[in-house]
Each structure stands twice: as structure tokens, then as C-alpha cells.
Amino acid sequence: MPRAIPDFSREEAALARGAVFICGIDEVGRGPLAGPVTAAAVRLDPARIPDGLTDSKQLSEKVRTRLAAELEECADVSIAHASVEEIDALNIFHASQLAMVRAAEGLSRATDLALVDGKFVPKGLTCPAEAIVKGDCKSLSISAASIVAKVCRDRVMWDLAQQHPGYGWERNAGYPTKEHIAALRNLGVTPHHRRSFRPVHNILYQEISVTP
């Protein structure tokens, strides 16, 4: 099956209907055991769309980094997070939605239409919005947001890896790899781990149960 190639057709249709400010929104980091969930909102300039935008997972780190830098120069970009504490308090779904709302609110002006990756429009968005399943493979604006969010969160996890060596966050970005799970068992739980996630919760429970 051929790989889907994102385009600007949804944005062009909205522009034809009279919308002026159209952004794409995506998040990254729902699956990791550690670190924030990160969202980005990006408004592309139709005359300056970088070549090669697509789902961030289909790009190498080098290409993602280059495209993120280009987008920072030629597009309106906003990045926001929901913290580990918010993830544990709200659950990962609602924390992801919160991060997306924050990203949209951080753009330079009010949005006429937000194209959101996924099945749901985040509660709290104050603009018209359309949810697009696998939107990062369909809309260039959402592709741009996926790239910016991924690059930003990877940098956050690299910085945290310097503070907490041994978990491999500079390589696994907090996802539950064998290396990360082994480090959790051997080194314990850090303040940046999501305590509501089962592998972390189970280790904490085991530690509490054996404490005299």
C-alpha cells in the first residue's frame, strides 16, 4: 500500500471559505513512561512551505531537526507541554488535550480553523476545529506540528537524561524500552516518571510493599 502524502488541500478549502488563520495541531509523547506530553500548533505560510513535510515518525532525526528549524523561521509556531504531574492527575488523554489547547493559545493571533490530529477536538479550544484521523499523513499543517513537537520533546528528554543518567532517555525519549524498564528496576523511579503508568506504578508498589 503506497505511503500517504500530506497536502494543503484542506487548508486551501478553508481559505476559499474565508478563513485566514489556519493551524495544524499535533502532540507527541503519549506512550512514554517519563517526561511531559508535548504539543505544537503551526500556521504555515502558503508561499513558504518547506519541502519534505510529512508524519514525523517517517523522517530521520537529522531531517526532522532541519525541518523544525526551517519552520521556526517561516511559520507561526507554538509549543506547549502538560507536565508529569498533570498527566498523573488528569490521565494521558486529557493531558494531551490540555497541551494542544495551550499550543493553540500560544500562536501569535486568534485561529480561524484548527486542524487537529486524531479522533477528537480538544475541549477548551476557542476556535472552530476539525479532527482528522492520521492527520499527520494528510495535512501539511499537521505534519509540520508533528515535526516541531517531536523535535522539541526529544530535546527535553535529552536534557533530562543529563540529569538522570542510566535510563537511556537520550535514545528512547522515555518510551518503555528494555533498557528503560531495566533501569527503572535497578535505579528506581525519578520525579520525571509517570506514576499513573502501570510499569512505574508496579515498581513503586513493590518498593512500598517491601519497606519495613
- What's the confidence (pLDDT) of residue 115? 98
Is residue 207's pLDDT more than 70? no
**Average pLDDT, rounded, for the chain:** 94
Is residue 18's pLDDT more than 70? yes
- C-alpha dihedral sign at 89, 94, 99, 103: negative
Listing from the earlier edge strand, what are the strands of the sheet with 37-43? 76-82, 37-43, 22-28, 113-117, 129-132
Is residue 208's pLDDT more than 50? no
Give the pLDDT band of residue 103 (cuts 50, 70, 90). very high
The residue with greater pLDDT, 108 or 3, is 108
| Span 147-197, pLDDT tens digits | 999 999 999 999 999 999 999 999 999 999 999 999 999 999 999 999 999
Locus of grid cell 515535526: 147
Give the pLDDT band of residue 77 (cuts 50, 70, 90). very high
- What's the confidence (pLDDT) of residue 2? 55
Biggest CA pair distance of the chain:
69
Predicted TM-score (pTM) of this structure: 0.94
What are the residue ranges of helices labelled H in 57-212?
61-74, 84-90, 92-105, 140-163, 169-172, 178-187, 198-210
Is residue 20's pLDDT more than 60? yes
